[in-house]
Each structure stands twice: as structure tokens, then as C-alpha cells.
């Protein structure tokens, strides 16, 4: 008789969510569960600290199959993606040489930016490139898109590559109102209809761009980028179906170019939600399920890139690239780490390529379709983001559609408000930029490496073309801190900040470390110490070092006695700061101590005030 095998987990009784929560609350020792552990996202919903199978019961996303409508788990039967690199193409011959070079280094998709639009330019750009095996994308001024399409189709037909060609012409007439605040000077529907007709013989050539990466790079929240991208795509469907083009023809010509921020799981969920929602929108317009597949190219963020400690940009873009790869996008561009301050060089471009190759060749992310599928957390995020984006999509539709909301500045205004909120969060260190507003390299300088770059839109706009009140913001999240620190570099004197550490060992070390990070964000010279027996010894040592700022670092209990003594002895010979927010703060303010730095401080505003006092 066969021996009965006992199942291991039968020995353990099931544990309910209520029991788990009760245990957590006990460990929190009275701290509120919701305030301590529940995360309220910028997208408008709560994220729990734990998820269970019951949380995804009945979710439509869990019933989806990879490669099948509504494509939440991907539009393909595999997870391979194209590795793309952008190439400036004002000089067609030089761009062609560079393209052929990088194609020998693993690149499978090329993006020519600022290219010419006639046949000679197309021929020069593609000379010697096998367009049947390489995806080729073009971005030129939208006013020349029709000419470029005619030239490219002619070239493709000459090579007999109509059936195998893959690529896109980035016709984006929304770029001018979004970026420069002025309407596109042409009949968008007529041009788009002509583009669809001209390229009909080349099914793999996309010509209608949804460049929501512009919104991501301007600081939009994830749900905003997704909601606006859906509205943008729906605008193309509206304009062209009303002009007599079939829904299948329109949907099959749309290319989504979306950004990726560093919010790892949220971005992963965004792309899954995007495919699901877009498939349903396109299908409602009458497109077939096959034509309703979203073609999406992902680009790592510029908004969170920094000039200082620029190699941290590599960490940011690596996790961003990983989010997109796990989400099953069609192609990815990793923005080189030096983009904020110079035109990327050969080294930074090589590293950007290799970041994708690492995920493929070493991590094998291209071997598993939708690896996040079934995750209680990711599935819940997918549905939550979809719900918030859908609300925004419906709101835009109620206001007349995406084009109307762009032309009247509604979209730009909303994104600008979001960007301002995020800049405030960076200033208060609610949003962390490592090396910029937290743990800066205080001895780094950057002014010497900054070079001017063009706007990159390929249209050669001058300042007179901008309507800033009606355009997207351009400042990166780090730009305010960088301006502050560059001002320190440019000054004839670099302020010295002296840590007067005294009293309780643990507290003085912790507050000295905090204050070092705080004032280091302005690029000041930091002078730390092991500690002093009296405040008089500390002040004397500070003045001997030529300190411009003296920061008292001790415990709250000791400040009532130490702070007045140090302040009186210093007698205005340097700025005096108390590290922390002690209970005796009001008493200290009453005797003239006004400078306090703590976790509630607005770091940026505080340092701006010190710069105004100290820089010469």
C-alpha cells in the first residue's frame, strides 16, 4: 500500500488578513496602521503594505493571456524588445556613418532626429543599412512630415521592403503648442490623412505620434501621462475617422512614445494599464482587436536627471529601463547619463546601450513574458492606475478632446502645477534626488562641464516662438538646487560651515551628519569635529577655521542651556544655527536665535537665504 504523503503546508493553519493586521498593529506599539504604513500616491490612491490573493479576486487583468486582447499582459508571444539609440541627423552622411557603427554593437533600432525630409537626405541616411532587419525612426519638423513620408516610401519600395520594414515618422503637430505654447500652423487632419494614405503600402511604418514622453519629462505624474496619452491617441482616432479613414487604418499607424520615471512598480503597471485601456478605446472606435494593439516605445526620464553626481543617473535609468522591459514594451531608449549638461559622447552612449544588453544577456528579462503577471501588488497597481488615468481621459473628452485642451493650455497648466508641486517636494526632500538634495558630494564642481545644447525638436525655434505661459515647463527636478550650487561655485568665497558638536554622543553625531547633508546641498565647505567639552571651545575652533556658519549639534534636552551660551559667546561673528526642532525653540527665538535646520525645513529656501547672506 502506497505510503500517504503529508503536505507540508497542511501543518500550518491559514492566517487571515485581519490576523496579519492585528500582528502588525501590535508591533507598531500603538502607532496608527494607516498613517505609518499606508502610502498615499501622487496618483490619488492608497498603496497597502501587504497584498493577498483576495485583493485580486475578480480583477480583469488576471484573466488576460499574453498576446491576446486586451493585451494587459503584452501584445507579443515573447518579451524581446528593440534596443534603440537616437542619432542627430542634421548632417546625413555623418549620421549614416554613426548608424552603421552602432549597428555592429547590438543596436536594433535607430532614431534619426532633426533629419532632412527629401529623398537625397533619406538615401544618404540609409545608405548601406539593411532596412529589412533594423527598425528605423525619423523625427523632423512636423511641417515637413509629408515630404519625408513620400521620400521614405519611395526608398522602401526601391528596396522591395514594403512587407518587412519597421519604423516610424514622428508626425507630432502637438509639439508646437505643448512646447512653445502656439497652435500648429496647418490642417492637422488633412496632413495626417495624407500621411496614412502615402504610407498605406508599408504596414510597418507608423506616422501618427503620441509623444507623452514630453509630459513625463515636464514633470507629469504617472497617471497624468497615461491619461493624456490615451486622450492624444483618441484625438487621432477622432480626427481621421471623421475624415473618412477607417479605424483600422488609423489605429495601425499610431506610435506611442512614453516616458519612464524612477517609480519602479508604478511604471511597470502603467504600461500594462496603457495597453489594456488603449485596446478598449481603439476597439470602441471600430478597430479590430489586431489593430488595437498598442505600439509603444519607452524612453528613460530626463526630468529626474542631475548635473551633480551625474553617474547616479545610471542607477535611475537602469531601474527605469527594467520597469519598461518587465512591462513588455516594444522598444527602449536609455537616455545617456550626461544628457543634462552636454551632448552625449561615445562613452555615455555606449554605457546607455550596455544597460539594455545587461538586462537581456545577463538578467534574461527578454525570455519571460509578463513576469509581473499574477503579482498581487502589480495587478492591483495596474487596475488602480488605469482607474485614475481613465478619469482624466474622460475629463479631457468632456472638455472637447486633447487638441482643444492643448490649444487652450489646459494640459500645460495642469502639468505645470504638478511640476511646481514636485519641485516643492524636492526642496523639502519629500522627493529625493541622491547626490543633489541628499548625500551630495560636497567637493564636486560642475560649471566646467556644462555645455549648451539645442532644444532637440529639430525645428530651430527662436525665443520669439515661445509662449511660456501656455507651454510645458522645461526645468528638471534638480534644476533649482543646481542653480543654487553653481552660484556657490561662481562666488569668490566658498562658505565654511562648522559643526559644533557637543553633549549627547548619539544625537550630536546624528545631527552633524544631517547638517552636513543639508549645507552640502549648496556646495559649502563642511568642517566636522569629534566634539567639544564647552561651547566656548567650539566657537573658538570655528572662528580659528574662518567659519561663516556655526551649527550647534546636540540633543534637544541640552539645547536650552547650550544654545544661548554658544549664541552669546559667538556674538554675531558668524551665522548661528541650531540643528533640530527642540521644545525650547520659542525661548531660543526670543533671545535672537532664528536659524534652525530639521527634517521639516525647506532645504532650498533655507540655503537660498544663506547664499544671499554669504556669497560675494
Instruction: Compute the distance between CA of residue 340 and CA of residue 52 in angstroms, rounded to an integer.
Output: 42
Contact 131, 161 (CB under 8 A): yes
On average, the pLDDT of the chain sits at 94
Q: What is the pLDDT of residue 380?
A: 96
- pLDDT band for 454, please (50, 70, 90 cuts): very low
Instruction: Compute the distance between CA of residue 533 and CA of residue 76 in angstroms, rounded to an integer.
Output: 69
Q: What is the pLDDT of residue 466?
A: 62
Instruction: Compute the distance between CA of residue 312 and CA of residue 460 in angstroms, rounded to an integer.
Output: 31
Instruction: Compute the distance between CA of residue 31 and CA of residue 408 in angstroms, rounded to an integer.
Output: 47
The three three-digit cell numbers of residue 398, written as one number: 468632456
Residue 340 in this model has a pLDDT that exceeds 70:
yes
CA atoms within 13 A on the CB side of 473: 21
For residues 58-64, average pLDDT: 85
Residue 175 in this model has a pLDDT that exceeds 80:
yes
Q: What is the pLDDT of residue 5?
A: 60
Residue 460 in this model has a pLDDT that exceeds 50:
no
- Summarised one tens digit per residue, pLDDT across range 132-167 is 999 999 999 999 999 999 999 999 999 999 999 999
CB proximity list for 385: less than 8 A, separation 6 or greater: 43, 222, 223, 226, 266, 269, 270, 273
Share of the chain above pLDDT 90, in %: 89
Contact 40, 240 (CB under 8 A): no
Q: What is the pLDDT of residue 457?
A: 44
For residues 321-348, average pLDDT: 97
- Residue 485: phi and psi, rounded to 5, are -75, -35
User: Which DSSP string corresponds to 374-419?
Assistant: T-HHHHHHHHHHHHHHHHHHHHHHHTT-HHHHHHTTHHHHHHHHHH
Task: Please name the residue that has the C-alpha cell 527578454.
Answer: 366
Of the listed ranges 4-8, 223-227, 519-523, 560-564, the least confidently predicted one is 4-8
For residues 106-130, average pLDDT: 97
**59 by DSSP, 3-state: which?**
coil
Residue 456 in this model has a pLDDT that exceeds 50:
no
Question: Counting Cβ atoms within 10 Å, is residue 541 exposed (0-12), middle (13-18) or buried (19+)?
Answer: middle
Of the listed ranges 53-57, 81-85, 284-288, the least confidently predicted one is 53-57
For β-strands 46-47 and 39-40, DSSP reports them as antiparallel
- pLDDT band for 77, please (50, 70, 90 cuts): confident
For residues 173-190, average pLDDT: 95
The three three-digit cell numbers of residue 352, written as one number: 546607455
Question: Around Cβ 544, how many Cβ atoms within 10 Å?
Answer: 9
CB proximity list for 443: less than 8 A, separation 6 or greater: none
Contact 206, 200 (CB under 8 A): no
- Summarised one tens digit per residue, pLDDT across range 7-22 is 776 777 888 999 888 8
Beta-strand ranges (E) seen in 383-523 are 496-501
Residue 292 in this model has a pLDDT that exceeds 90:
yes
Residue 410 in this model has a pLDDT that exceeds 60:
yes
Question: Around Cβ 9, how many Cβ atoms within 10 Å?
Answer: 8
Residues 452, 458, 460, 462, CA torsion sign: negative
Contact 64, 70 (CB under 8 A): yes
Rounded to two decimals, what is the model's pTM? Answer: 0.94
The three three-digit cell numbers of residue 213, written as one number: 514622453
Residue 240 in this model has a pLDDT that exceeds 70:
yes
- Summarised one tens digit per residue, pLDDT across range 36-53 is 999 999 988 999 999 999
Q: What is the pLDDT of residue 464?
A: 44
Residue 461 in this model has a pLDDT that exceeds 70:
no
Instruction: Compute the distance between CA of residue 127 and CA of residue 120 in angstroms, rounded to an integer.
Output: 10
The rounded radius of gyration (Å) of the Cα atoms in the chain is: 28
Q: What is the pLDDT of residue 1?
A: 46
Question: Around Cβ 592, how many Cβ atoms within 10 Å?
Answer: 11
Q: What is the pLDDT of residue 458?
A: 44
Amino acid at each position: 500500500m502506497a505510503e500517504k504523503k503529508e503536505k507540508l503546508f497542511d501543518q500550518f493553519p491559514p492566517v487571515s488578513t485581519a490576523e496579519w493586521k492585528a500582528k502588525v498593529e501590535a508591533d507598531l506599539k500603538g502607532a496608527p496602521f494607516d498613517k505609518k504604513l499606508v502610502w498615499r500616491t501622487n496618483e490619488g490612491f492608497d498603496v497597502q503594505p501587504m497584498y493577498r490573493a483576495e485583493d485580486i479576486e475578480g480583477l480583469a487583468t488576471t484573466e488576460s493571456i499574453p498576446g491576446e486582447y486586451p493585451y494587459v499582459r503584452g501584445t507579443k508571444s515573447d518579451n524581446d524588445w528593440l534596443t534603440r539609440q537616437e542619432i542627430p541627423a542634421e548632417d546625413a552622411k555623418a549620421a549614416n556613418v554613426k548608424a552603421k557603427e552602432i549597428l555592429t554593437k547590438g543596436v536594433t533600432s535607430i532614431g534619426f532626429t532633426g533629419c532632412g525630409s527629401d529623398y537625397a537626405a533619406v538615401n544618404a541616411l540609409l545608405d548601406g543599412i539593411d532596412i529589412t532587419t533594423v527598425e528605423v525612426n525619423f523625427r523632423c519638423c512636423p511641417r515637413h512630415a509629408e515630404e519625408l513620408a513620400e521620400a521614405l516610401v519611395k526608398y522602401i519600395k526601391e528596396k522591395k521592403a514594403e512587407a518587412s520594414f519597421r519604423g516610424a515618422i514622428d508626425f507630432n503637430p502637438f509639439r508646437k503648442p505643448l512646447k512653445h505654447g502656439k497652435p500648429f500652423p496647418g490642417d492637422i487632419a488633412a496632413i495626417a490623412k495624407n500621411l496614412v494614405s502615402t504610407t498605406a503600402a508599408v504596414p510597418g511604418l507608423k506616422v501618427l505620434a503620441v509623444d507623452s514622453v514630453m509630459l513625463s519629462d515636464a514633470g507629469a505624474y504617472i497617471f497624468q501621462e497615461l491619461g493624456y496619452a490615451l486622450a492624444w491617441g483618441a484625438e487621432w482616432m477622432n480626427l481621421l475617422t471623421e475624415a473618412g479613414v477607417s479605424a483600422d487604418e488609423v489605429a495601425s499607424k499610431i506610435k506611442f512614445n512614453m516616458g519612464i520615471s524612477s517609480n519602479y512598480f508604478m511604471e511597470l503597471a502603467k504600461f500594462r494599464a496603457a495597453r489594456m485601456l488603449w485596446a478598449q478605446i481603439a476597439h470602441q472606435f471600430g478597430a479590430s482587436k489586431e489593430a488595437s494593439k498598442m505600439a509603444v516605445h519607452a524612453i528613460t526620464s530626463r526630468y529626474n536627471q542631475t548635473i551633480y553626481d551625474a553617474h547616479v543617473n545610471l542607477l535611475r535609468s537602469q531601474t527605469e529601463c527594467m520597469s519598461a522591459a518587465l512591462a513588455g514594451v516594444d522598444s527602449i531608449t536609455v537616455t545617456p547619463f550626461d544628457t543634462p549638461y552636454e551632448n552625449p559622447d561615445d562613452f555615455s552612449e555606449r554605457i546607455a546601450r550596455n544597460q539594455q544588453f545587461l538586462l537581456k544577456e545577463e538578467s534574461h528579462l527578454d525570455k519571460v513574458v509578463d513576469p509581473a503577471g499574477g503579482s498581487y501588488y502589480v495587478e492591483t497597481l495596474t487596475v488602480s492606475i488605469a482607474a485614475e488615468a481613465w478619469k482624466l481621459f474622460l475629463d479631457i473628452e468632456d472638455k472637447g478632446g486633447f487638441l482643444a485642451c492643448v490649444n487652450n493650455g489646459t494640459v500645460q497648466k495642469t502639468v505645470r502645477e504638478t511640476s511646481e508641486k514636485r519641485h516643492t517636494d524636492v526642496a523639502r526632500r519629500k522627493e529625493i534626488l541622491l547626490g543633489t538634495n541628499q548625500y551630495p558630494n560636497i567637493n564636486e564642481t560642475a560649471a566646467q562641464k556644462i555645455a549648451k545644447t539645442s532644444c532637440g525638436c529639430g525645428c530651430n525655434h527662436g525665443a520669439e516662438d515661445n509662449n511660456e505661459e501656455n507651454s510645458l515647463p522645461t526645468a528638471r527636478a534638480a534644476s533649482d538646487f543646481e542653480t543654487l550650487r553653481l552660484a556657490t561655485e561662481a562666488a569668490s568665497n566658498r562658505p565654511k560651515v562648522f559643526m559644533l558638536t557637543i553633549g549627547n554622543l548619539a544625537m550630536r553625531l546624528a545631527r552633524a551628519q544631517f547638517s552636513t547633508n543639508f549645507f552640502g546641498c549648496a556646495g559649502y565647505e563642511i568642517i566636522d569635529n569629534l566634539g567639544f567639552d564647552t561651547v566656548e571651545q567650539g566657537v573658538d575652533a570655528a572662528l580659528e577655521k574662518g567659519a561663516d556658519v556655526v551649527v550647534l549639534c546636540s540633543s534637544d534636552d541640552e539645547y536650552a542651556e547650550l544654545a544661548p551660551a554658544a549664541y552669546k559667546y559667538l556674538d554675531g561673528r558668524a551665522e548661528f544655527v541650531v540643528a533640530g526642532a527642540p521644545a525650547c525653540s520659542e525661548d531660543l527665538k526670543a533671545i535672537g536665535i532664528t536659524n534652525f535646520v530639521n527634517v521639516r525645513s525647506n532645504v532650498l529656501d533655507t540655503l537660498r537665504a544663506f547664499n544671499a547672506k554669504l556669497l560675494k
